[in-house]
């Protein structure tokens, strides 16, 4: 198993370690519910160094990203980040990712841990014959996510970057605890917060210092999953993969058909005109039980859909989940049946996100 | 601490026998492995079980696991408090976090289960695997 630069710190802090995407990562330190609530009400700190970083540089950097992704990268300005989908010609996801624009010919692309090699090779393949350099820089960064309403107040004393003027999905280069860093106002929790990229050697010291403020709870992947699910943020491998399109995944806001040609565009154009055949929806349970990833949705003897994510929501204190349903059965209020270990249990489509922070 | 007055199954349930009735729950090791318990599905009073049968399920935030019966018998009482307070399984697994009471069909079965010391050795081996 691969280990992040923060692995020893996670062990020191009593992290319960699991395998995730080929990495040994903490799933929790004390309790998923406690860590979840810390992020919703105060601040939590995650090691997300397993995420991959790919550099795309050169005169045709923008051209490569425009060709391979569905969002409009030309709309990015320096110092801004964008959520985007890296697509196959089938319009299925290679990955979902963040694109940071450093300069008009210099992009910093943050991808899922388990996909970083695949994404890198895909971008290399697509870049053939183009004047662009693609580099897998995943080993050059530790990444920390400080998330929660107190994140700004806690981080500000450590950095020369003015956090108060930094808007959501903006970023800046600067010093954090004396080390060179990229600080972005982004996250995967539905809460305010920052993601901090530093050199691997600088990660452990920064992580410890933030914990030593006494105002930050170390958090594991368990809380990361419940937090992102409440905010209805997709998880690659659960809610999206090579077989799902952004429109099926209810991510129409990152599909910019008007930007020109890109991989999968023809399929997305048809889906936008005719509607995708299925749609990712949020649901709550009508009967008791927790539906989890992979549980079938049935109508009589027919399997009509599948649960992609499901858990107990610590904020709502009830089970929630995401599922693919046929388009004509995806409207809020629709009741459907999930097979939970062979037992038929009813659930109801609800509007999403399940949780939205007060602005 | 593993209570000396109970017996333990390899699937991490305990049974505490008083007379012909055994109280069944999951061990402290099991609740720690599961994490925050949020839902416990238990059988109804009157249900008959053989040793090793699936009695119900325990849902934590991150996963579901089955509850197996460490003994054969009939369910005579179910801990209804767990419907509202499943977290008792985490905070007091051997006390208020008990799950069912069973009238034992075959008290001999209890002897086949592990004692406290044997169970502690067993989980040490499990943990280091």
Tell me the average pLDDT of chain B: 95
Q: What is the mean pLDDT of residues B95-109?
A: 95
Of B57, B61, B64, the CB nearest to A222: B61
Q: How do the domains of chain A map onto residue ranges?
A: 7-49+141-230, 52-136
Residues B39, A225: C-beta atoms closer than 8 Å: no
B57 interfaces chain A, CB cutoff of 8 Å = yes
CA distance A335 to A350: 10
Residues B38, A290: C-beta atoms closer than 8 Å: yes
Residues A290, B35: C-beta atoms closer than 8 Å: no
CA distance A193 to A150: 8
B90 to chain A: closest CA residue: A31
Chain A residue numbers touching B54 (CB-CB < 8 A): none
- For A300, other C-beta atoms within 10 Å of its C-beta total 7
Chain A residue numbers touching B60 (CB-CB < 8 A): 32
Encode pLDDT of A203-239 as tens digits. 999 999 999 999 999 999 999 999 999 999 999 999 9
Q: What is the mean pLDDT of residues A254-277?
A: 97
- pLDDT of B115 over the 90 cut: yes
Per-residue model confidence (pLDDT) at position B129 = 63
Share of chain A above pLDDT 70, in %: 100
Chain B residue numbers touching A341 (CB-CB < 8 A): 57, 64
Of A31, A292, A319, the CB nearest to B35: A31
How many CB pairs below 8 Å do chains A and B form together?
42
Chain A residue numbers touching B57 (CB-CB < 8 A): 341
Domains of chain B listed by start with CATH number = 7-106 (2.40.50.100)
Q: What is the third-level CATH fold of A52-136?
A: Alpha-Beta Plaits (3.30.70)
Question: What is the token pair recorded at A342?
Answer: 């062979």
**Contact of A225 with A20, CB cutoff 8 Å:** no
Per-residue model confidence (pLDDT) at position A353 = 97
Cα angle A349, A355, A359; round to 5: 140
0.90 surpassed by pTM = yes
CA distance B121 to B124: 5
Q: What is the mean pLDDT of residues A249-256?
A: 98
Encode pLDDT of A97-146 as tens digits. 999 999 999 999 999 999 999 999 999 999 999 999 999 999 999 999 99
Name every residue whose Cβ is closer than 8 Å to that of residue A42 and which is 6 or more positions away in sequence.
A148, A149, A150, A215, A216, A217
- pLDDT of A23 over the 80 cut: yes
Ramachandran area for residue A317 (φ above 0: left; ψ -120 to 50: alpha; else beta): left
CA distance A314 to chain B (A): 8
Handedness of CA B75, B77, B82, B86 (dihedral sign): negative
**Contact of A58 with A116, CB cutoff 8 Å:** no
Q: What is the third-level CATH fold of A7-49+141-230?
A: Gyrase A; domain 2 (3.30.1360)
Per-residue model confidence (pLDDT) at position B127 = 77
A18 to chain B: closest CA residue: B33
CA distance A311 to chain B (A): 6
Per-residue model confidence (pLDDT) at position A358 = 83
Residue A195: which of A6, A56, A35, A48 has the closest Cα? Answer: A48
Share of chain A above pLDDT 90, in %: 99
């Amino acid at each position: 198993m691969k280990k992040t630069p923060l692995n020893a710190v996670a062990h020191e802090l009593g992290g319960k370690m699991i395998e995730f995407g080929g990495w040994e990562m903490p799933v929790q330190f004390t309790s998923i519910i406690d860590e979840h609530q810390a992020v919703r009400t105060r601040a939590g700190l995650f090691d997300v160094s397993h995420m991959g970083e790919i550099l795309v540089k050169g005169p045709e950097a923008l051209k490569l990203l425009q060709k391979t992704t569905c969002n409009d990268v030309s709309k990015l300005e320096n110092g801004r980040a964008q959520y985007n989908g890296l697509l196959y010609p089938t319009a299925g996801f290679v990955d979902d990712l963040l694109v940071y624009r450093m300069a008009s010919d210099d992009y910093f692309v943050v991808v899922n841990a388990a996909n970083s090699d695949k994404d890198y090779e895909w971008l290399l393949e697509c870049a053939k014959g183009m004047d662009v350099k693609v580099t897998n820089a995943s080993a050059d960064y530790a990444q920390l996510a400080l998330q929660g309403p107190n994140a700004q107040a806690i981080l500000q004393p450590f950095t020369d970057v003015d956090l108060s003027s930094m808007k959501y999905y903006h970023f800046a280069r600067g010093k954090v605890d004396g080390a060179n860093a990229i600080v972005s106002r982004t996250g995967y929790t539905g809460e305010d917060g920052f993601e901090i990229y530093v050199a691997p050697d600088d990660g452990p010291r920064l992580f410890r210092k933030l914990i030593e403020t006494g105002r930050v709870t170390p958090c594991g992947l368990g809380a990361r999953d419940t937090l992102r699910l409440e905010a209805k943020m997709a998880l690659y491998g659960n809610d999206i993969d090579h077989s799902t399109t952004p429109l099926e995944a209810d991510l129409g806001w990152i599909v910019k058909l008007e930007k020109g040609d890109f991989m999968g565009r023809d399929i997305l154009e048809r889906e936008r005109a005719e509607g995708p055949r299925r749609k990712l929806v949020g649901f709550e349970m009508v009967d008791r039980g927790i539906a989890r990833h992979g549980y079938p949705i049935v109508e009589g003897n027919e399997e009509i859909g599948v649960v992609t994510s499901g858990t107990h929501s610590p904020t709502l204190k009830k089970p929630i989940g995401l599922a693919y349903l046929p388009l004509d059965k995806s409207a809020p209020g629709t009741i459907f049946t999930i097979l939970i270990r062979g037992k038929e249990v009813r659930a109801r489509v609800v509007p999403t996100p399940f949780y939205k922070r007060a602005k | 601490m593993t209570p000396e007055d109970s017996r333990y199954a390899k699937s991490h349930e305990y049974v505490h026998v008083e007379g012909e009735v055994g109280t069944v729950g999951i061990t402290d090791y099991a609740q720690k492995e599961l994490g925050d318990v949020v839902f416990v599905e238990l059988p109804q009073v009157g249900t008959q079980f053989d040793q090793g049968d699936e009695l119900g399920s325990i849902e934590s935030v991150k996963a579901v696991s089955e509850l197996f019966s460490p003994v054969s018998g009939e369910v005579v009482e179910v801990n209804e408090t767990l419907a509202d307070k499943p977290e008792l399984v985490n905070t007091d697994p051997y006390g208020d976090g008990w799950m069912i009471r069973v009238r034992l069909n075959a008290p001999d079965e209890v002897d086949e289960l592990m004692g406290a010391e044997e169970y502690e050795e067993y989980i040490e081996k499990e943990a280091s695997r």
